[in-house]
Amino acid sequence: KQEVTQIPAALSVPEGENLVLNCSFTDSAIYNLQWFRQDPGKGLTSLLLIQSSQREQTSGRLNASLDKSSGRSTLYIAASQPGDSATYLCAVRSNTGNQFYFGTGTSLTVIP
């Protein structure tokens, strides 16, 4: 069974810092990996989708990379802002059983 782990579980940084969130998965047989943010009590907002054949995707201040062979993805946030405070989740779509598996998330706080 696919297992997805996110480190760290919580992170607090001053505004303006660049930061990296980590996601690791145990089974490299995936279709894609998607990064989301979730604000308290709300649904998930899609940030970036990386297909299994891709190495990275960029959107604004966000850059996500994927190393399928080592089972790792990173989400890089440049010049962090207080509005970036949220929980960040990664999810993989496994092509074994064709299910989605989510990590436990990283709770990010950006201090003004």
CB of 53 to other proteins, least distance (A): 9
CB of 46 to other proteins, least distance (A): 6
Sign of CA dihedral 3, 58, 22, 72: positive
Largest CA distance in the chain: 44
> ∠ CA 65-36-38 to the nearest 5 degrees?
145
- Told to check if 58 binds other proteins by CB under 8 A, we report no
- Told to check if 55 binds other proteins by CB under 8 A, we report no
Give the separation between CA 25 and CA 29, rounded to whole angstroms. Answer: 10
- Told to check if 81 binds other proteins by CB under 8 A, we report no
Minimum CB distance to other proteins smaller for 76 or for 102 = 102
- Told to check if 28 binds other proteins by CB under 8 A, we report no
DSSP string, 76-101: EE-S--GGG-EEEEEEEEESSSS-EE
CB of 33 to other proteins, least distance (A): 11
Beta-ladder partners of 25: 4
Chain residues that interact with other proteins, rule: CB under 8 A: 31-32, 34, 36, 41-46, 49, 51, 89, 91, 93, 95, 97-105
